[in-house]
A and B are shown apart, each in its own frame.
Chain A
Amino acid sequence: DAGITQSPRYKITETGRQVTLMCHQTWSHSYMFWYRQDLGHGLRLIYYSAAADITDKGEVPDGYVVSRSKTENFPLTLESATRSQTSVYFCASGTGGGYVETQYFGPGTRLLVL
């Protein structure tokens, strides 16, 4: 039972390059989320998806693109990476069904943009 996985776990890239972070969940959860974690900010929502082909912006969407062609996958693309996008990225999933919905988090991807 893999749950929710992210790849790669670590990535170093250069400014201006395109980077895609992968997220895969095995629970068939409807909702998936991308967060970034930076010192002093906790986690902030980048994008979320309510179902396949339905995505919406979160708090900090600029510079990121998402897609969701299949329920189980939710890739996050940095089209032209910048140093300010150096961060730890967490993917999460949930059923989205209730007031006290629990989200389940992946192990994170550490991204360094040089």
Chain B
Amino acid sequence: AQSVTQLDSHVSVSEGTPVLLRCNYSSSYSPSLFWYVQHPNKGLQLLLKYTSAATLVKGINGFEAEFKKSETSFHLTKPSAHMSDAAEYFCVTSSGSARQLTFGSGTQLTVLP
């Protein structure tokens, strides 16, 4: 079964500094991978998804993620954090006939002024 592991439950950065949220995946074949974001008391929004067309995936709001097969990783990055980036971020994989989603446990991102 496919699964994802988010390596940090909490990350704090200062506004204007880079963001790195780490995710490792477990899969015996080419996985489908996503990053979703959840702002406080809101639903989930898709940030980006890995389509296998390119290893560097660009998403919304300046986020990007790099698929590294050799490291089984799909880390999320942003060059410069903004206060509005404070949220919980989920690394997600999908499988099964209905493309059911399997979520990591989440990383809470805090952006300090």
Q: Which residues of A contact B (CB under 8 A)?
A: 31, 33, 35, 40-45, 48, 50, 56, 58, 90, 92, 94, 96, 98-103, 105-108
Cβ contacts under 8 Å, B20 to chain A? none
9 A-B pairs whose Cβ atoms sit less than 8 Å apart in the complex:
A40-B105, A43-B103, A45-B102, A48-B100, A50-B97, A50-B98, A92-B101, A100-B94, A103-B46
Complex contact A44–B103 (CB within 8 A) = yes
Q: Which residues of B contact A (CB under 8 A)?
A: 32, 34, 36, 42-46, 49-51, 90, 94, 97-106
Query: Which DSSP category, helix, strand, loop or mixed, fits chain B's interface?
Result: strand
Nearest-CB residue, chain B, relative to A58: B100
Contact of A108 among B43, B50, B100 (CB under 8 A): B43
Complex contact B100–A33 (CB within 8 A) = yes
A72 to B90, CA, bound (A): 27
Complex contact A105–B100 (CB within 8 A) = no
Given contacts A99-B32, A100-B49, A100-B51, contact A106 B105 (CB under 8 A): no
